[in-house]
Amino acid sequence: MNITDMNTKKIAVATTLGAFAVLALLFAYPAMAAASGTPQNPSIQQLYMRSAHSPSHNIQLSVGQTITLTSVAGGYWVVGEPGSNGTASGTMTLQVTGALSGGYTVSVTGGTLTINGTAYTITGGSAELGPHGRLVVGQGQAGSTTFLFLDRNLGSFGGASYGVLRVDLRSGSSEFGARLLVTTSA
């Protein structure tokens, strides 16, 4: 065996090892990047999926504390008429009225829901908030109009806390469903 053949074999072995090292780094990089602790900005869809699977910890609220939901985007549909829809918006103010081991009792104290071009001024209602702060479920009134609602906490994104507020509102013989992306402040 001559020197040229030995050098060729060394170069082939070094190239093969180098290729494997690069390939190993390519596979390892996503795991290293995720574990690096650098802050990541998840999308609203990722928050929605993560909120259902995140570890549970109890929130701490005080009796008398106010929670405000303010829409940033939303839409409505007429129940039973899927082609009849449009934009919706609103605010809802809640006040903690009781603290229990299984969650909190909440009063709906005000706000406005705008659906199908009509503004409904919220006059009252009640709700329950779970101990982890993920769901608020309740009913309310806007004069003679009644509605059911559910607010699901999505988590934080860009310094704000977001949720999805779902509303089923009946006004006279009309019934509307609405879904609003809301910011939550307490």
Q: For the residues 88-114, what does the mean pLDDT come to?
A: 95
Indicate whether 151 pLDDT > 70.
yes
Confidence class of residue 85 from pLDDT cuts 50, 70 and 90? very high
Structure-model confidence comparison of residues 23 and 132, the more confident one: 132
Which region among 20-24, 141-145, 155-159 has the lowest average model confidence (pLDDT)?
A: 20-24
Class (C level, CATH) for 50-185: mainly beta
State the Cα–Cα distance between residues 186 and 182, nearest whole angstrom. 13
Of 16-20, 72-76, 127-131, the one with minimum mean pLDDT is: 16-20
Domain ranges of the chain: 1-40, 50-185
Buried-state track 140-176, b at ≥16 Cβ within 10 A, e below 16: bebeebebbbebbbbbeeeeebbbbbebebebeeeeb
The mean of the pLDDT values for the chain is 81
**162 or 159, which is more confident:** 162
- Most trustworthy range by pLDDT among 48-52, 80-84, 97-101, 154-158: 97-101
